[in-house]
Structure 1
Amino acid sequence: METATEAAGSAAAASATTPARVALVGVHGFGTHHLRNLQRLQAAGSVSLVAVADPQPPAPGALPPSAAIYQGLEELLTATRDLDLVIVATPIQTHAPLALAALATDAELYLEKPPVASLADFNRLCTAAARSGHGVQIGFQSLGSHALGAIEELLAAGTIGTLEGISATGRWVRDRAYYTRSRWAGKRSINGVDVVDGVATNPLAHAVATALRIAGARTTADLASVETELYRANDIESDDTSVIRIRTASGLPITCALTICAAESVEPYVTLQGSAGTAVFHYTEDRLTVETAAGRTEETFGRDDLAENLLAHRGHGVPLTSSLADSGAFMLVLEAIRTAPPPAPIDPACVRWEGEGDAAHAVVVGIEEALERAGRQHATFSEIGLPWAVAAPVAFDIPAS
């Protein structure tokens, strides 16, 4: 029986003679990552980038000669036939309509994270995907890490004892320019259209998604509760410093303590708290550290490319690494944030600004220790008694399955 790895290799070999026809929607922002990846795959003979869509023209020389350029997806789909894969890397609020349009074709869909901006849109998209029969891959690239398989093995072996909890810790820096780069940055909504561009739903969404995956929480049925405590140091609508506390259907606590108002950016990490040790996964580096009474080990793993996995799924039925259905648990977290009260402003006396002009960034004083305590104790900022934490955790009413 052919393994997933062998099938992926077979798909790549097959596509070397018949490259998959790919369209990319959104060539700026994270779309530039997809352009680089498609360039690599096209050089290998796996794909042919036949068209792109973006209201802003791509940079000169950014595209291969094979790629036609269109203003929007509708125009692209009208002029382009026999697509195998559509990649959508556009602002969050555009994901739902663009994904639905792509699913009306015969192509597989790669949709950047977060999938959509509301649970209602997620349910509509799931219905459309099931009706189309096409694969939908969500761009949580960290889920392609081979470290996740190693984590499953160490948990099964009892290496760190009984898993008692999981925490996700993220502290990044984002300056004023980050919020002026586009009209949707830092918005909860625009003209009544949901955006939900907060710390846990966009810049550090991978921290949440990775913690959920390690916990075995994939679908909407896998969560028992979600609580949010949202704050902002910047003059924005959305949260930039927050705690999300989750309990899975099996009773496992997951606490995500996240900020983009740190003194310096540090690689985010997910900590597995065991009865006999800990494992720390730095997911951007695919690096796993395990500490027990027997000592400390560290290993760096490889990672599967999600676009290649999607093509192997189309050609050989290989299971998707980050399927739409498996993002259901994440979407419950997003919905809890979307429906929560607006984030509470952090007292300016507890915020210092570093840098000048658009390069200036807010630093919440003492945030590094606060994030560690929140994750370790599975407590919110108000529960650990921070002076600026004037909100209280808000429980989300999880819809019946």
Structure 2
Amino acid sequence: MGTPAGTDAEFQSRNEDPVQAPTPTAAHTRTARVALVGIHGFGAHHLRNLERLQAAGAVELVAVADPQLPAPGAVPATAAVFPGLTQLLAETRDLDVIIVATPIQTHAPLGLAALATEADVYLEKPPVASLADFNTLCEAAQRSGRSVQIGFQSLGSHALAAIEELLASGAIGTLQGVSATGRWVRDRAYYKRSRWAGKRSIDGVDVVDGVATNPLAHAVATALRIAGARTMADVASVETDLYRANDIESDDTSVIRIRTAAGLPVTCALTICATESVEPYVTLQGSAGQAVFHYTEDRLTVTTAAGQTEQLFGRDDLTENLIAHRQDGTPLISPLLDSGAFMLVLEAIRTAPLPALIGSEHIQWVGEGDAAHAVVVGIEDALDRATQEHATFRELGLPWAP
């Protein structure tokens, strides 16, 4: 299991805890018995959140699993520690929820094993590493009758309901397009943190650890949700334009252009080779204005002829939402089937040709040793043009995108 795929989740930039959730109330009528698979990397964030929920009486963390032992005091003394999910399930009964926060390539087998129990499942993003695995997981969930929540935390933002109201009101006119912009910095050490980092596959097993499928996956998922694309049926086409500045297999600088079944363009321009890291955002392009949603901050800015407004929103915790769903039927915020649109994006990236290597003359290296990071020259302007024009880097005629 090792380092979780969610180690690089966008929400680490917001604060120490990836969620800003309200304290559970008396509505939680039963303490949920929870197991956590993967306790390092982003799994550590789940640990902290479970400690919060346990202190409030909403959950009991009864067991954790990871081949790497926890640091002293990292796991509550009342929780049993196992080297893997197989051992955990052999010795742990009556689980209500199993949280899987492990490397991408392990999501499918661990998710299927969890669904073979009586527990509901929280599976970190991306759900799995191929469309075939996604279909298998969906079929298993349907057979078992269990619920699966996918860890796209941004979808818990109350701003999404406000955006729906904004569009319904016609305040920014007719929605003409949606775009996602991600400008981050990742150094050489980032790709040395685990054997799967930056890989398309390991020993024939799909990993698909690209900029759009892992570090900035929330940008893609949030843009799709705002555009009304949840399931596979909501997507008409996906185009990819993939590049890499780093010495890796996967893409680190890309444009993903999606057209929804309703004909709306959704363009995601993403890089982890920027000059500096900034908060990623989703832009709604309307005929009479625009709205910009900084999803890691739950901040929505609306600009029309009447002026500009900005508002901050709260967010629901996905673990708490899953527990409420199990107890009283509260709708899931990020159900498995609603990741279908995202999985079509991942599949397009998985099956695309190898990312093109950006020429060294178009890259600047900043820093020394493992702390050095690549900067694609002019990338900020390229991202802006791609999202504004809904164009790929190649269509823009960039010198490093032949």
> TM > 0.5 between the two?
yes
Residue in 2 aligned with 1:124?
Answer: 136
How far residue 168 of structure 1 moved from its aligned partner, in angstroms, is: 0.2
How far residue 9 of structure 1 moved from its aligned partner, in angstroms, is: 9.7
Structure 1 residue matching 2:316: 3-state secondary structure: coil
- Say whether residues 1:336 and 2:348 are aligned partners: yes
Residue in 1 aligned with 2:180?
Answer: 168
Select the residue among 97, 109, 115 that pairs with 1:103: 115
Q: What is the CA RMSD across the aligned residues, in angstroms? A: 1.3
Superimposed CA distance per residue, residues 254-278 of structure 1 (whole angstroms, 9 cap, x where no aligned partner): 0000000001000000000000000
How far residue 162 of structure 1 moved from its aligned partner, in angstroms, is: 0.1
* CA distance, structure 1, for counterparts of residue 237 and residue 376 of structure 2: 28
Instruction: Say if 1:138 and 1:322, in contact at 8 Å, map to a contact too.
Output: yes
* CA distance, structure 1, for counterparts of residue 219 and residue 35 of structure 2: 28
How far residue 10 of structure 1 moved from its aligned partner, in angstroms, is: 12
Q: Aligned letter for 2:26?
A: A
Residue in 1 aligned with 2:161?
Answer: 149
Q: Which runs of 5+ in 1 are unaligned?
A: 1-7, 391-401
Instruction: Say if 2:24 and 2:53, in contact at 8 Å, map to a contact too.
Output: no
Structure 2 residue matching 1:155: 3-state secondary structure: helix
Correspondence list, 1:1-400, <5 A: 12-13=25-26, 15=28, 18-390=30-402
Instruction: Say if 2:97 and 2:122, in contact at 8 Å, map to a contact too.
Output: yes
Superimposed CA distance per residue, residues 262-312 of structure 1 (whole angstroms, 9 cap, x where no aligned partner): 010000000000000000000000000000000000000000000000001
* CA distance, structure 1, for counterparts of residue 256 and residue 22 of structure 2: 39
For normalisation by structure 1, the TM-score amounts to 0.94
Instruction: Say if 2:22 and 2:316, in contact at 8 Å, map to a contact too.
Output: no
Percent of aligned positions with the same letter in both sequences?
A: 80
* CA distance, structure 1, for counterparts of residue 331 and residue 181 of structure 2: 29
Superimposed CA distance per residue, residues 301-341 of structure 1 (whole angstroms, 9 cap, x where no aligned partner): 00000000000100001110000000000000000000000
* CA distance, structure 1, for counterparts of residue 319 and residue 144 of structure 2: 19
Structure 2 residue matching 1:185: 3-state secondary structure: coil
How far residue 15 of structure 1 moved from its aligned partner, in angstroms, is: 4.0
* CA distance, structure 1, for counterparts of residue 281 and residue 85 of structure 2: 36
* CA distance, structure 1, for counterparts of residue 169 and residue 27 of structure 2: 38
Structure 2 residue matching 1:51: 3-state secondary structure: strand
Structure 2 residue matching 1:242: 3-state secondary structure: strand
For normalisation by structure 2, the TM-score amounts to 0.94
Structure 1 residue matching 2:26: 3-state secondary structure: helix
Instruction: Say if 1:11 and 1:311, in contact at 8 Å, map to a contact too.
Output: no
Instruction: Say if 1:12 and 1:312, in contact at 8 Å, map to a contact too.
Output: no
Residues 15 and 154 of structure 1: CA distance in aligned 2, closer, same or farther (over 3 Å): closer
Superimposed CA distance per residue, residues 208-266 of structure 1 (whole angstroms, 9 cap, x where no aligned partner): 00000001100000000100000000000000000000000000000000000001000
Residues 10 and 232 of structure 1: CA distance in aligned 2, closer, same or farther (over 3 Å): closer
Residue in 2 aligned with 1:397?
Answer: none
Number of residues of Structure 1 aligned to a counterpart in Structure 2 = 382
Structure 2 residue matching 1:13: 3-state secondary structure: coil
Superimposed CA distance per residue, residues 50-94 of structure 1 (whole angstroms, 9 cap, x where no aligned partner): 000000011110111111000000000000000000000000000
Instruction: Say if 2:147 and 2:335, in contact at 8 Å, map to a contact too.
Output: yes
Structure 1 residue matching 2:81: 3-state secondary structure: strand
Q: Aligned letter for 2:392?
A: T
Instruction: Say if 1:110 and 1:137, in contact at 8 Å, map to a contact too.
Output: yes
Structure 2 residue matching 1:128: 3-state secondary structure: helix
